[in-house]
Structure 1
Amino acid sequence: MAAETSRSVKVIDQSKVAPPLGSVSTTAVALTFIDVRCLFLDHTQRIFFYELPHPTLYFTQTILPHLRQSLSLSLLHFFPLAANLLCSPPPHDPYILYDENNGSVQVTTVESDADFNHSVANHARDFKALKSLVPKLPLHCLSSSSNTTHVVPIMAIQFTVFPNSGISVGVTLNHAAADGRSFNHFLKFWASMNRSRGENLTSLSLPLHNKDIIEDPHGLSSIYLEDLRKFGNLNPIGDHQVPPDNVLTTLVLKQTKIKQLKHWIATADNQQQSKINDEEIRISTYAVAYCRERFGSKIPATYFGNCVTLIYAPIKRRELMGANGMVIAAKAIGRQIYELGTGSVFKGEEKFSSSSEEIFKDGRVVTVASSPNFWVYETDFGWGKPKKVEMVHINGYSCFSLAESREEDGGLDIGVVVGRDRLDLFNAIFEQI
């Protein structure tokens, strides 16, 4: 595939959007131990593409004002997203602060001359060009004679207009504030608010901001903070440089293929991998469990914050590269999920940092972002369902994203970033599945 022609992007509007004046008082939000752990992670970056065959002027004069108004009304309920993360030297702990004088979301509108249809296709697209469709969270420093406090906004938004073709809504979120489910709750709430022009919203669920629900009887927050300071991660940049020749491609798994894979894995002769019966191992479409369903005390689905745990499924390289590598990988993940239901979700969490450091040092780690259960293609701002949804904080071979298929019920869209020079080999391997 030939390299794409360089495209230009022009900033046409910048503004700050806050909750309605006087609606939210100054509020400090302490981080739970799960929020603190998420300080290790990159910012979440998601792009929603919509067909919208209007010129740029129509967008800025007719559509943009409603988007800002609906965003302001949504931030009334999701006010931490208009706040800042403050990280100071010890003995101070990081926390989120909403201040009416400084609480807002930076909203940038740009115009692009890129090909909209190319941007929303499944084939390989320039990853750096897609990253330009999401905003960065600027890092500020507040210095005094005794310390320097790092201040990072929780969220920023960028609208990109492809004149007479479509628009994209790019959102960057500081992961310390919310997990994927909470983020998705906000996005759907905002989209519904914009679609209905603020009317008939009684069916929308409001977020729950009670952090006391997350208990920390083992003092994990202090352990994580100590590790973060040791590793120097309290300078919260949250984004990495993009290799110049990487591309993002979307691999589509149809429902029939998923059923075939499930059957193959469930019936494969792989007795050496586990003493647990195959029927007890969860062979799911997405073998990653979200903590709300497995937490010791029930956490409401509307809880706003982070409520996730990390699980590792270690596999020897020679096994993974063998003829039954896919079966071994699927069962290893399924086994870890099965074991979540047999004990404490956070068992061994006090060793999270040291074990993670060892794993990343001694082996190659592949992680998964998002979930097909978020139903991202139901995020309708009033222009119909998205033409395409992408996650662009995934970093090369170390991470891929999952979403439900836009075209087929039960299918999957898998977002993968690879080097352009390895694209043909990667596609050839995928075709053999």
Structure 2
Amino acid sequence: MADLQPNKQELIKIIEQSKVSPPPGTVPTTSLPLSFFDVPWLLFANMQRPYFYEFPHSTHHFLETRLPSLKHSLSLTLQHFFPFAANLILPPPPAKPHILFAEGDSAVSLTVAESAADFHFLSANHPRPVRALDTFVPKLAPARVDGDTRMEPIMALQFTVFPNSGICIGLRCNHVAGDARSLHHFMKSWALVCKTGGDLTSLDGDSGLPSLDRTAVKDPYGLELVFLKAWWSLASTWKNEDQRSVLDTDDHHSLRATVVLCRDKIERLRHWITNQLANDNENSTTLHMSSFVVISALIWVCLAKSEERNSKVNKDDDDPYYFAFVAECRSRLEFPLPTTYFGNCLTVCFAPVKAAELLGENGVATAAKAIGKEVGELNRKPLKELENFLIKFKKIKDSGWKHVTVLGSPKFGLYETDFGWGRPKKCESIHFRDSTAFLIAQSRDEKGGAEVSLVLSKDQMSRFNAILEEILMGLV
């Protein structure tokens, strides 16, 4: 395990603060309604993502040669992704929240900074303090209040230069504006416009321009009102945005690390699980055994066993241990949405397994079966759990049942975000800060591989790594 660096390494010097908007006259005043997919994310914390790039040049070189093109391409890109430059309008009930873009009052705040921290330490896979990356993700500007209505900015960006080592592009974004696919669509589009010197026609290629047509979203089960009532009820008790958090317990003593799984290990794991389930009474051929499923099953069991050795989970426990995951459903709906749909289009699934079974000899196969079954149901009934997911999530927490949530996907192409100086060295997601969540992304260096980011205590991290190695060594 790498030595942890002192907090002084996190200090940065602010060089510039500004705002970036779409070019004047390119976006009319636009009010964008929230769909029933968007409203639940009013209750959750902002997405926070730093992208680290190697850049062996001085701060002056960055300010003179890179910063102008980054700003210009950002402005050009925002005319198509203008909700990120807009404000979230939160009127008192029964009025509905919405996104409002108004020229002169809508922009992305941009901070430029310099850091003396060790770029290579921060952008590596080894364990680092859970708060080590926070400095490189900006805060959103404070909300404004006009009478009973709050107006909150949606996105903030920060460029941090590590002289002669690298750059970090950090962002904070209100999840209500769009899901991870929408955010990555924006980032890759911005990078492409920057790389091509401001050529907007480059966006007409494979990724395409975003679709902002909210009328394409149908609400057959009346979920919008269900979620709005939950928002109105909870928001009335909150004092600030920081309380919108389900996955953040902010444990300053935890460590954040990334486990890399090569394609060969993932394929061997898939083959091993398939063999384990071959004689199962249920028809295992109907189970969904994607990389997401088998990796999730592996990590879930390793987390449970690392907790069990710390007496948090008992081998004789018959209580359910829940695995929760969000899944994109653009192509799964009765009203299919285009891949380029800009907004949230996520549903929520819960896969329960008895803790005793999860810790048993066939725990990984049992976990994969449970997750794969939920994915199969998702393909048939994508909105099955969505109506009650807030109630169910609260019940799980209030009952003290163990649970873990997986974020991300190995399909988003994070490492394709090239602004013209190469692919990222490291992409992170830091809006989860404890062992109740982990994130899956594709591997930077191998097609078909994966990265798993976790936040654990030092002791649990050591146990987790030992259990993971033991399971992977035992695959035949």
Shared fold (TM-score greater than 0.5)? yes
Deviation at 1:348, TM superposition (A): 4.7
Superposition map of 1:102-117 within 5 A:
102-117=105-120
For the residues of structure 2 that align with 1:408 and 1:311, how far apart are their CA atoms? 29
The partner residue of 2:17 within 14, 17, 30 is 14
Matched, 1:189 2:189: yes
Code of the residue aligned with 2:371 in structure 1: it is I
Alignment correspondent of 1:4? 5
Are the aligned partners of 1:116 and 1:165 in contact in 2 as well (CA < 8 Å)? yes
Deviation at 1:276, TM superposition (A): 3.5
Alignment correspondent of 1:313? 351
Alignment correspondent of 2:313? none
Alignment correspondent of 2:256? 248
Are the aligned partners of 1:82 and 1:155 in contact in 2 as well (CA < 8 Å)? yes
Q: After superposition, what is the alpha-carbon deviation per residue over 1:173-219, rounded to whole angstroms, capped at 9, x for unaligned?
A: 11101011111110000000000011251425110000011111222
Matched, 1:381 2:419: yes
Are the aligned partners of 1:52 and 1:167 in contact in 2 as well (CA < 8 Å)? yes
Are the aligned partners of 2:158 and 2:170 in contact in 1 as well (CA < 8 Å)? yes
Partner SS for 1:370: strand
Alignment correspondent of 1:282? 288
Judged with a 3 Å threshold, the aligned counterparts in structure 2 of structure 1 residues 270 and 131 are, in CA distance, closer, same or farther, namely: farther
For the residues of structure 2 that align with 1:278 and 1:85, how far apart are their CA atoms? 46
Superposition map of 1:5-404 within 5 A:
5-6=6-7, 7=9, 8-144=11-147, 147=148, 149-199=149-199, 201=202, 202-203=204-205, 205-232=208-235, 236-237=241-242, 238=244, 240=248, 242-269=250-277, 276-287=282-293, 289-342=327-380, 344-362=381-399, 363-404=401-442
Partner SS for 1:252: strand
For the residues of structure 1 that align with 2:153 and 2:328, how far apart are their CA atoms? 26
For the residues of structure 1 that align with 2:184 and 2:369, how far apart are their CA atoms? 29
Deviation at 1:269, TM superposition (A): 4.7
Are the aligned partners of 2:441 and 2:450 in contact in 1 as well (CA < 8 Å)? yes
Deviation at 1:241, TM superposition (A): 6.0
Judged with a 3 Å threshold, the aligned counterparts in structure 2 of structure 1 residues 13 and 268 are, in CA distance, closer, same or farther, namely: same
Partner SS for 2:99: strand
Q: Taking every aligned residue pair, what percent have the same amino acid on both sides?
A: 42
Code of the residue aligned with 2:170 in structure 1: it is G
TM-score between the two structures when normalised by the length of structure 1? 0.94
For the residues of structure 2 that align with 1:279 and 1:394, how far apart are their CA atoms? 34
Q: After superposition, what is the alpha-carbon deviation per residue over 1:93-127, rounded to whole angstroms, capped at 9, x for unaligned?
A: 11111111210000111111111111121111122
Are the aligned partners of 2:42 and 2:175 in contact in 1 as well (CA < 8 Å)? yes
Judged with a 3 Å threshold, the aligned counterparts in structure 2 of structure 1 residues 151 and 420 are, in CA distance, closer, same or farther, namely: farther
- Once the two structures are overlaid, the 10-residue window that deviates more, 220-229 or 195-204, is 195-204
Code of the residue aligned with 1:352 in structure 2: it is F
Are the aligned partners of 1:39 and 1:236 in contact in 2 as well (CA < 8 Å)? no
TM-score between the two structures when normalised by the length of structure 2? 0.86
Aligned residues: 427
CA RMSD of aligned residues (A): 1.8
